[in-house]
Amino acid sequence: MLVFFDLPVKTKQERSVATKFHNFLLKDGYYMLQYSIYARTCNGTDAVEKHRKRLNAAKPDNGSVRLLVITEKQYQTIEILVGNYAPHDAPFEFEQLTLF
């Protein structure tokens, strides 16, 4: 899941709302790809729907918040055109566990 947002921060109240949303993303397991772009890995469509609902509940009333759901394979094709790779840019590796 990729979350893109642009929130107003001109007043003290707007900054507070933006900070609250930013903190929600971090606590919910997102990590920052770039300023105002956060990513989170989900295992399956059920997890995506769960986090989509959580995101909708936490979204601010003003500004712009967008969600893009992509597969792990699609994410791995990302190209960094300017800048350096960061540790979180490495391809994800997940193990599927089967419990009996």
pLDDT of residue 90: 60
What is the Cα–Cα distance from 8 to 72, expressed in whole angstroms? 31
Name which residue leads in pLDDT, 62 or 96.
62
What is residue 72's predicted lDDT score, i.e. its pLDDT? 85
* Contact (CB, 8 A) for 55 and 67: yes
Cα 10 from Cα 14, distance rounded (Å): 6
| pLDDT tens digits, one per residue of 6-64 | 999 999 999 999 999 999 999 999 999 888 999 999 998 999 999 999 999 999 999 99
> Rounded to two decimals, what is the model's pTM?
0.78
pLDDT score recorded for residue 26: 95
Per-residue pLDDT reduced to its tens digit, 77-88: 888 888 777 666
